[in-house]
């Protein structure tokens, strides 16, 4: 195989049957991807004995992910936050007795609300820690600044609030009381915006709380508006360059919210990537800062990168492997991972499955973790640290992107909760998701917060904004319909 150019970035090379790490950070990832067999058997047995399902986020603690992905119990699923709730419903339909959620608290609340809506109110849902598991992005939507943002939207005619799914049910419920609201994911946000503008003439779209994603969406809309009309029509048949340029003037991103992990991908790391890895494939989540987004978007235009959701990144890497396997001879693919490092578990499992099915041992994929040159582990952040491996460059300018909130879910915590589920008199109240009493109208926060999610599901099913939502935006119906 051709050699990989030397770089200071840590990397994990994926081969058919082996993993080759470079750097301490990558070494720690490999260790978690090859979990202790006795530990896997222990957790597998407990889940099976007590009939417990587990849904976990892609950004989960790598040790826990490694063990979960090695288990044979069928009711385990690792995905993004929206699919977590969907798979919990599937597990409930299959007859599990409880669901454990490995994620931040709003994910557990979402799972609880979706199960309730699906008719499984009696099925218990548990967190993996007794302490609150927060999220910097979700918290930014619970500030006075975000309420002021929504109040401005409410005072603007024909306003629609598009809120990122990674927010609490309380945020969704309270926002929808002020302005008609629909949720979105990083996978469907572009089509949500385009379809809303196609159905609602003169609509003002207020996007939040992720500021980087909002700015990246502005960049995308501007780029689309410069494309030939035929290309715009292919993107959405109701639009032209002129309609997109007009929409851009009515698109309002929140300016004070971000994820502390994606915030790490700044200008310093991008400069090093351009200098040290000019021939790599670039991936970037829509939540990263503009420099990393622009890098991957430029690569995407030349077929050498992708910007989008975690699922888009996984699909892109899988397509690159399939392309390499279709060619004869030894090949090595370099992929810069422009999102949370926890993605590596799903990437490794997917790549190795393809390589093993092909019986090829001459194709390898090197996943590169971008880090900044100068290690800074102490910050003014309330957590007191920048996540990642000190000594390999984890700073406010880039990389070693691991979420400290997600790491509050760990293997011992899951084993402890599952054992308690099987106990006769175990007190599990501290592990339950937060709930709130009904308001004066008899509706709970969870019920109200689910409304924007259901609107998104209707859009995903029909390809159109729900009529009641369109009517609410245009002033012909209640925003809570």
The model's pLDDT over 355-378, given as tens digits with 9 standing for 90+, comes to 999 999 999 999 998 764 443 343
The pLDDT, as a whole number, for residue 378 is: 38
Average pLDDT for 274-293: 84
Same-domain check for residues 399 and 276: yes
- Counting runs of H as helices and runs of E as strands, what totals does the chain give? 19, 14
Let me know if residue 3 belongs to a domain: no
Query: Which CATH number characterizes residue 95's domain?
Result: 3.40.50.10800
The pLDDT, as a whole number, for residue 260 is: 60
> Taking 50 as the threshold, does the pLDDT of residue 341 lie above it?
yes
> Taking 50 as the threshold, does the pLDDT of residue 346 lie above it?
yes
Same-domain check for residues 212 and 168: yes
Number of structural domains (the chain) is 3
Average pLDDT for 79-94: 92
Q: Which of 264-273, 396-405, 465-474 has the highest mean pLDDT?
A: 465-474
The pLDDT, as a whole number, for residue 86 is: 92
Same-domain check for residues 152 and 107: no
Tell me the pLDDT band of 160, cut-offs 50, 70 and 90. Answer: very high
Same-domain check for residues 250 and 295: no
Distance (Å, whole) CA 28 – CA 201: 52
The pLDDT, as a whole number, for residue 8 is: 67
Mean pLDDT across the chain, nearest whole number? 85
Angle at 246 between CA 207 and CA 249, to 5 degrees: 45
156: number of Cβ within 10 Å? 13
Contact status, residue 476 vs residue 468, Cβ threshold 8 Å: no
Query: Which position has the higher pLDDT, 163 or 137?
Result: 163
Same-domain check for residues 88 and 223: no
Same-domain check for residues 283 and 332: yes
Query: What is the residue-wise DSSP string for 396-463?
Result: TTBB----TTGGGS-HHHHHHHHHHHHSSS---GGGSPP-----TTS--HHHHHHHHHHHHHHHHHHS
Let me know if residue 5 belongs to a domain: no
Global pTM reads: 0.78
The pLDDT, as a whole number, for residue 284 is: 87
Same-domain check for residues 303 and 330: yes
Same-domain check for residues 271 and 389: yes
Q: What percent of the chain has pLDDT over 90?
A: 54
357: number of Cβ within 10 Å? 10
Q: What is the DSSP letter of 209?
A: S
Region of poorest pLDDT, from 231-240, 402-411, 454-463: 402-411
Half-sphere exposure (Cβ direction) of 250: Cα atoms closer than 13 Å: 22
> Taking 90 as the threshold, does the pLDDT of residue 261 lie above it?
no
Q: What percent of the chain has pLDDT over 70?
A: 86
> Taking 50 as the threshold, does the pLDDT of residue 3 lie above it?
no
Distance (Å, whole) CA 219 – CA 86: 31
pLDDT digits (tens, 9 = 90+) for 25-37: 778 778 888 889 9
- Domain residues for 143? 137-258+437-473
Distance (Å, whole) CA 345 – CA 335: 15
Same-domain check for residues 284 and 229: no
Tell me the pLDDT band of 424, cut-offs 50, 70 and 90. Answer: low
Let me know if residue 291 belongs to a domain: yes
Region of poorest pLDDT, from 154-163, 234-243, 334-343: 334-343
pLDDT digits (tens, 9 = 90+) for 90-116: 999 999 999 999 999 989 998 998 899
Let me know if residue 1 belongs to a domain: no
The pLDDT, as a whole number, for residue 286 is: 79
Measured in residues, the chain has a length of 481
> Taking 70 as the threshold, does the pLDDT of residue 403 lie above it?
no
Query: Going along 23-71, which residue ranges are E strands?
Result: 52-57
The pLDDT, as a whole number, for residue 263 is: 55
The pLDDT, as a whole number, for residue 303 is: 92
Let me know if residue 332 belongs to a domain: yes
Distance (Å, whole) CA 89 – CA 445: 20
Let me know if residue 480 belongs to a domain: no
Integer CA distances (angstroms), 417 to 126, 134, 413, 434, in order: 8, 19, 6, 17
Average pLDDT for 406-433: 85
> Taking 90 as the threshold, does the pLDDT of residue 438 lie above it?
no
Let me know if residue 479 belongs to a domain: no
Query: Which position has the higher pLDDT, 62 or 120?
Result: 120
Average pLDDT for 142-160: 95
The pLDDT, as a whole number, for residue 364 is: 96
Same-domain check for residues 280 and 148: no
Q: Which of 162-176, 256-270, 288-302 has the highest mean pLDDT?
A: 162-176
Let me know if residue 278 belongs to a domain: yes
Same-domain check for residues 267 and 384: yes
The pLDDT, as a whole number, for residue 437 is: 63
Q: What is the DSSP letter of 341?
A: G
Same-domain check for residues 399 and 265: yes
Distance (Å, whole) CA 421 – CA 374: 45
């Amino acid at each position: 195989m051709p050699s990989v150019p030397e770089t200071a970035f840590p990397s994990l090379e994926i081969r058919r049957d082996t993993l080759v790490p470079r750097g301490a950070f990558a070494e720690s990832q490999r260790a978690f991807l090859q979990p202790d067999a006795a530990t896997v058997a222990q957790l597998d047995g407990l889940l099976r004995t007590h009939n417990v399902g587990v849904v976990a986020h892609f950004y989960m603690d790598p040790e826990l992910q490694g063990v979960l992905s090695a288990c044979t119990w069928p009711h385990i699923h690792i995905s993004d936050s929206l699919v977590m709730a969907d798979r919990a419903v599937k597990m409930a339909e299959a007859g599990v007795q409880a669901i454990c959620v490995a994620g931040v608290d709003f994910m557990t609340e979402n799972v609880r609300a979706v199960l309730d809506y699906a008719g499984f109110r009696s099925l218990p849902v548990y967190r993996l820690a007794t302490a609150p598991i927060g999220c910097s992005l979700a918290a930014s939507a619970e500030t006075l600044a975000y309420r002021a943002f929504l109040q401005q939207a409410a005072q603007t005619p024909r306003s629609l609030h598009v809120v990122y799914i990674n927010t609490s049910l309380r945020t969704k419920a309270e926002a929808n009381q002020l302005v008609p609201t629909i949720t979105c994911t990083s996978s469907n946000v572009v089509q949500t915006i385009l379809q809303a503008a196609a159905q609602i003439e003169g609509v003002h779209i207020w996007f939040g709380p992720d500021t980087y994603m909002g700015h990246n969406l502005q960049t995308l809309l501007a780029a689309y508006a410069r494309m030939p009309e035929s290309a715009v029509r292919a993107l959405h048949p109701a639009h032209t360059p002129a309609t997109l340029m007009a929409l851009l003037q009515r698109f309002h991103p929140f300016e004070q919210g971000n994820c502390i992990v994606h915030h790490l991908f700044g200008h310093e790391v991008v400069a090093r990537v351009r200098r040290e890895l000019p021939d790599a494939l670039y991936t970037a989540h829509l939540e990263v800062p503009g420099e990393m987004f622009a890098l991957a978007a430029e690569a995407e235009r030349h077929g050498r990168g992708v910007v989008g959701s975690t699922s888009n990144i996984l699909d892109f890497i899988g397509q690159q492997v399939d392309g390499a396997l279709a060619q004869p001879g030894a090949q090595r693919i370099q992929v810069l991972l422009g999102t949370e490092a926890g993605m590596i578990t799903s990437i490794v499992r997917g790549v190795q499955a393809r390589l093993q099915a092909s019986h090829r041992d001459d194709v390898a994929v090197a996943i590169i973790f971008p880090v900044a040159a100068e290690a800074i582990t102490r910050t003014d952040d309330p957590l007191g640290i920048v996540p990642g491996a000190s000594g390999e460059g984890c700073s406010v300018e880039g990389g070693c992107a691991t979420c400290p909130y997600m790491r509050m879910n760990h293997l011992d915590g899951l084993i402890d909760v599952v054992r308690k589920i099987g106990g006769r008199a175990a007190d599990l109240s501290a592990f339950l998701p937060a709930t709130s009493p009904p308001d004066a109208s008899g509706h709970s926060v969870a019920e109200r917060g689910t409304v924007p999610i259901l609107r998104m599901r209707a859009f995903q099913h029909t390809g159109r904004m729900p009529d009641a939502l369109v009517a609410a935006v245009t002033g012909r119906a209640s925003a809570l319909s």
